[in-house]
Structure 1
Amino acid sequence: MNDALSNAPYKIFVGCAGWSLGREHAPAFPGDGTHLQRYARQFNTAEINSSFYRPHRPQTYARWADAVPPDFRFSVKIPKLISHEQCLQGSAQALDEFLGQCGELGERLGCLLLQLPPSLAFEPGVAEVFFTRLRERFAGHVVIEPRHESWVQGEPMLAHYRIAQATVDPSRLSNDSQPSGWPGLRYWRLHGAPRIYYSAYEEDCLIRLAAELKAKAQSGVPTWCIFDNTASGAATGDALRLMELLGR
């Protein structure tokens, strides 16, 4: 684990969407163990995206929790059944099932990620009912990544329900290039540019990002940075370099 980050007076979580380790990065992850165990020796977080597509057994989440150090935290993506198919409506049962599964992460559950489809506009009544039900069931950190411009109007509601809005690259909304929503959590999701999901980030961009993450985290706010440019393996290299820039 990165001693500089672990022992800092502020907390920055850096990792990737998933924990796949390409051959080109193998020297950075020496030793025995599963991909997750080796990954967790370098990074202190991972975003579980597979939960968006299919449910995982509680035992699977428990196994993942046992594979990582005590200060490692997972971010877990809320299923598309809830966000894309039910469109946040009538989701109580699906929420209960999902939270019952990922709850087996225990203290390693650091955050829930709610990613919305571009077609889902902000409807105050629908959003308020959903957020109320979510908060009745889960008191931990939540971050949302909306993709319809109307969600800019929902920022006061996000703050009320303690939901941070992700800072996204490439930007999709007029307010997602900087932290917004509830200020008690800051969460970057970086998809790669210029080619989304494929391109690595330039050194100058990573240097600026490191400075911005430090500035936010030094105020005492938990700060996350997830690289989702995984299609060509660029995420791993970017995350490793960012860790170096943060003081590894």
Structure 2
Amino acid sequence: MPVVATAAWSIPKTVAGRFTAEGSGLSRYASVFDGVEVNSTFYRRHKPSTFARWAQAVPEGFRFAVKIPREITNTRAMKDIGAPFGTFLQDIAPLGEKRGPLLCQLPPSLAFDPDVMERAFDVMRSADPGRIVIEVRHASWASERVVPLLRRYAIDRVLADPALVWPSAAFADPPCYVRLHGKPKVYYSSYTEEEIRAFARLLAPDSWCVFDNTASGAAIENALTMLDLL
């Protein structure tokens, strides 16, 4: 079954009854969902002990998708990333087998440069064999050179909504990672049951679907709807 998750694990009061009443926010979230996307790593480092505590708070089979720091994607623009990427991997190592995909979200200003990206992907793959997914937002990533390069390094494209570069029609196979940001108002708008059903039909058994429309509390409600539909 696909992993249905949200960005972070805040539970709004409107659906609190769907979760266990006792425990931390994370452990309560994990009583229903099998995964979560950690976005805070994009903005700041966490101590390895934090990741160890999170791993201990969730059951076997639960997975953390972790966002790659903006020092790598934004500040360095994917250049000379060996040292910070290695530090990032050391920080999250205590997640162990509970680590899910690494999410590489590039800024809207970062165009596709095949030489820069190949060097970056080579560094990432030399350091880590796990699943890596990439969300891009610059139109140049629609280049036909992109997919073969990503395939060479076993990096999966993210199907985002709104889809700025890769709409669902651009995926010949089920997307491995779907990020639903909300529309028309990004991070706020809730999805209808019909829209959620349409995204659910795109998923493979090993896909992730993350609701990122967290600003209004819609993410958890939408994710629960998807779980009910699967």
Count residues in correspondence. 228
Alignment of 1:20-169 (within 5 A): 20-153=10-143, 154-169=146-161
In structure 1, the partner of 2:215 is 231
Shift, 1:152, TM fit: 2.1
Computed over aligned residues only, the root mean square deviation of the Cα atoms, in angstroms, reads: 1.5
Shift, 1:124, TM fit: 0.7
CA contact (8 A) 2:159 2:175 kept: no
Aligned AA (2:138): H
Gap change, CA 1:13 and 1:151, over 3 Å in 2? same
Aligned match for 1:177, one of 163, 168, 181? 168
Shift, 1:212, TM fit: 2.3
CA contact (8 A) 2:44 2:69 kept: yes
Q: Equivalents in 2 of 1:46, 1:78: separation in Å? A: 15
Q: Equivalents in 1 of 2:7, 2:164: separation in Å? A: 19
**What are structure 1's unaligned runs of at least 5 residues?**
1-10
Q: Equivalents in 2 of 1:212, 1:184: separation in Å? A: 6
**What are structure 2's unaligned runs of at least 5 residues?**
none
Shift, 1:79, TM fit: 0.2
Report the secondary structure of 1:46's partner residue.
Answer: strand
In structure 2, the partner of 1:187 is 177
Q: Equivalents in 2 of 1:93, 1:156: separation in Å? A: 26
Aligned AA (1:163): I
Percent identity of paired positions between Structure 1 and Structure 2: 44
Which of structure 1's runs of 4+ aligned residues deviate more than 4 A?
A: 178-181
TM-score w.r.t. length of structure 1 = 0.88
1:184-221 deviations in Å (ceiling 9; x for gaps): 961100001121111110111112222222xx33xxxx
In structure 1, the partner of 2:226 is 242
TM-score w.r.t. length of structure 2 = 0.95
Report the secondary structure of 1:167's partner residue.
Answer: strand
Shift, 1:28, TM fit: 1.2
CA contact (8 A) 1:162 1:184 kept: no
Shift, 1:27, TM fit: 1.0
Report the secondary structure of 1:166's partner residue.
Answer: strand
Aligned AA (1:58): P
